[in-house]
Amino acid sequence: MSRPIQAIIDYSALVHNLTIVRQYAPKARILAVLKANAYGHGLLHTANALKNVDGFALLELEAAITLRTIGYQQPILLLEGFFSTKEIALVEQYQLSPVIHHAEQVSMLSDFKNHKIDIFIKVNTGMNRLGLSPKQLPQVIKELTNNQHVKNITLMTHFASADDPSEKASVLRQLRCFETITETYNYPCSLANSAAIINYPETHSDWVRPGIMLYGASPFPDKTAADLNLLPVMTLSSKIIAIHDLEAGDKVGYHGLFKADDRMRIGIVACGYADGYPRHAPTGTPVLVNNQRSRLLGRISMDMLAIDLTGVKNTKLGDPVVLWGKGIPVEEIAMYAGTSSYQLLCGLSARVDRKFLKSF
Residues labelled catalytic: 35, 254
Separation between Cα atoms, residue 188 and residue 310, nearest integer Å:
58
Residue 357 near residue 16 (C-beta atoms within 8 A): no
Separation between Cα atoms, residue 7 and residue 40, nearest integer Å:
10
- Cα angle, residue 201 at apex, residues 199 and 204 outer, rounded to 5°: 120
Separation between Cα atoms, residue 207 and residue 310, nearest integer Å:
51
Separation between Cα atoms, residue 179 and residue 16, nearest integer Å:
32
Buried b (16+ CB within 10 A) or exposed e, 36-57: bbbbbbbbebbbbbbeebebbb
Mark out the alpha helices in the chain (DSSP H runs).
11-24, 35-40, 43-49, 61-69, 88-93, 103-108, 137-145, 168-182, 194-199, 330-337, 341-346
Residue 32 near residue 57 (C-beta atoms within 8 A): yes
129 is in an annotated binding site: yes
Q: How many other C-beta atoms lie within 10 A of the C-beta of residue 253? A: 19
Separation between Cα atoms, residue 322 and residue 235, nearest integer Å:
7
299 is in an annotated binding site: no
Separation between Cα atoms, residue 163 and residue 195, nearest integer Å:
5
How does DSSP classify residue 108?
H
Q: Phi/psi at 337 (nearest 5 deg)?
A: -85, -5
Show binding-site residues.
Answer: 129, 302
Show binding-site residues for substrate.
Answer: 129, 302
